A = this chain, B = another copy of it.
Amino acid sequence: MPVSAKTLAGMQKSSWIRQMFEAGEKLKLKLGKDNVFDVSIGNPVAEPPPEFKQELIQIARKPVSGMHRYMPNSGYMHTRNAVAKHLSAEFGLNFGADDIIMTCGAAGALNIALKTVLNPGDEVIVISPYFPEYLSYIDNHSGRVIVVVTRPDFVPSIDELHMAIGPATRGVIINSPNNPTGIVYSDGFLNDLAQLLKNKSSRFGQPVYLISDEPYRRIIYDGAKYPAPVCHYTETLITSSYSKDLSLPGERIGYLAVNPNISDREELVAGMVYSNRILGFVNAPALMQYLVSGLQTARVSVDDYQRKRDYFYQALQTVGYEVLKPAGAFYMFPKTPVDDDVAFVKQLMEFGVLAVPGSGFGCPGYMRLSFCVDDKTIEGAITGLNKAIKLW
């Protein structure tokens, strides 16, 4: 066996997602690409905003000497300053460059945070439905996953969190706006959560970190102001990226930011910079650091995503799906008409629709439909979803 037991187990576990992906590819061959409506992936079709393209041309024409070299593992000072300045304005807290580490996407940020704080067997709370990679990231660094289930409103109950958090709990990962549900946690909920975590931290004599994974923070609808976890709780780590708001998921550019008042800030940040190095990320890609420095306020059209959301949500309701209206991100998470979400998603394939079963997010009986796709794909998906629901 060439791969380790753990790798093999992980590969087998994700192999049904792979099988569905492969089934989808076969479907495209069979029905023709134009008759397959892929709403399974969170890979935005939106191009980066024009400011990004202009900035790239400018820097290509007038490259800065040494810009592709190693820089400190935390990233370029001018980039960290730009991020800190923008976060300060956004959150009303006084971030400095030393509160920021530029990372290889939010995934890199999460891994360096977990690597830094977890002793073997330490527990991390994950809210279901969850982004499935969280489970791997925690396991990468010898942590134990504790799942708290949230149904039907997808907001965790403070009582259940209270029961789940014990002396071995080192952190709680939240993801608002949420993948896959589109839920955005309210200030009221965050306040209650902060109170709970404060109590637990003081009871157990060490901070329970709130790891706020916010790559969708700027994809938020109806003109709402983002209720920011970091404003409610001091022991907060923010992991984020430019993958969604600048539509750059392939470039692996993101950051980790700590609340400027977090306990033992200097040692914690030094630990995370060290982890960035020893995990083999080394530093966030240099050119992308240069580019995002000047693009802190640029973003793709949220209005366009909102239009897609409104159209898709309305259509799903009309057709008869039970679904919450997403307040952010670009996913719908309706109930499947039958409990067996995998069977239903296979059924959908027969109508040319590719979706992800809720089971992939630890939440059977639901499915994820992405709307970061072009309008024709959404329209085709709705037609298929309409046909499929009528069979059950």
* Chain A contact residues, CB within 8 Å of chain B: 1-8, 10-11, 14, 41, 43-45, 47-48, 53, 56-57, 59-61, 63, 65-71, 104-105, 107-108, 110-111, 115-119, 122, 133, 136-137, 140, 206-207, 247-253, 263-264, 267-268, 270-271, 274-275, 277-288
Is the pair B10, A278 in contact by a Cβ cutoff of 8 Å?
Answer: yes
What is the bound-complex CA distance between A351 and B284, given in angstroms? 35
Is the pair B111, A2 in contact by a Cβ cutoff of 8 Å?
Answer: no
Chain B residue contacts of A247, Cβ below 8 A: 68-69
Is the pair A3, B117 in contact by a Cβ cutoff of 8 Å?
Answer: yes
A250: contacting residue among B41, B107, B285, CB under 8 A: B285
Is the pair A278, B70 in contact by a Cβ cutoff of 8 Å?
Answer: no
> Would you give the shortest CB distance from A316 to chain B, in whole angstroms?
25
Is the pair B286, A10 in contact by a Cβ cutoff of 8 Å?
Answer: no
> Would you give the shortest CB distance from A54 to chain B, in whole angstroms?
9
Chain B residue contacts of A274, Cβ below 8 A: 7, 10-11, 14
Is the pair A3, B268 in contact by a Cβ cutoff of 8 Å?
Answer: yes
Is the pair A3, B280 in contact by a Cβ cutoff of 8 Å?
Answer: no
Given A68-B249, A249-B70, is A281 in contact with B104 using a C-beta cutoff of 8 Å? Answer: yes
> Would you give the shortest CB distance from A48 to chain B, in whole angstroms?
6
Is the pair A4, B117 in contact by a Cβ cutoff of 8 Å?
Answer: yes
Is the pair B45, A66 in contact by a Cβ cutoff of 8 Å?
Answer: yes
Is the pair B60, A107 in contact by a Cβ cutoff of 8 Å?
Answer: no
Given A68-B48, A249-B68, A250-B285, is A278 in contact with B140 using a C-beta cutoff of 8 Å? Answer: yes
What is the bound-complex CA distance between A8 and B282, given in angstroms? 18
Is the pair B3, A116 in contact by a Cβ cutoff of 8 Å?
Answer: yes
Give 7 CB contacts A-B under 8 Å: A4-B116, A7-B115, A47-B68, A67-B250, A105-B280, A252-B286, A253-B285
Is the pair A248, B68 in contact by a Cβ cutoff of 8 Å?
Answer: yes
Chain B residue contacts of A206, Cβ below 8 A: 1
Chain B, residue nearest A263 (CB):
B2
Is the pair A268, B107 in contact by a Cβ cutoff of 8 Å?
Answer: no
> Would you give the shortest CB distance from A198 to chain B, in whole angstroms?
16
Chain B, residue nearest A269 (CB):
B2
Given A2-B271, A250-B283, A279-B140, is A116 in contact with B7 using a C-beta cutoff of 8 Å? Answer: yes
What is the bound-complex CA distance between A268 and B2, given in angstroms? 6
Given A250-B285, A283-B250, is A11 in contact with B271 using a C-beta cutoff of 8 Å? Answer: yes
Is the pair A65, B43 in contact by a Cβ cutoff of 8 Å?
Answer: no
Residue from the set A53, A69, A284 with the largest chain B CB neighbour count within 10 Å: A69
Given A108-B281, A280-B110, is A69 in contact with B57 using a C-beta cutoff of 8 Å? Answer: no
A60: contacting residue among B8, B60, B249, B275, CB under 8 A: B60
Having A14-B274, A68-B248, one finds 19 other A-B pairs with CB under 8 Å, namely: A2-B116, A2-B267, A3-B116, A3-B267, A4-B118, A6-B119, A43-B70, A68-B249, A107-B281, A108-B280, A111-B280, A133-B278, A137-B278, A137-B280, A140-B279, A140-B280, A250-B287, A251-B287, A285-B288
Residue from the set A68, A110, A115, A117 with the largest chain B CB neighbour count within 10 Å: A68
Given A2-B268, A115-B7, A274-B11, is A282 in contact with B105 using a C-beta cutoff of 8 Å? Answer: yes
Given A263-B2, A274-B10, A286-B250, is A60 in contact with B56 using a C-beta cutoff of 8 Å? Answer: yes
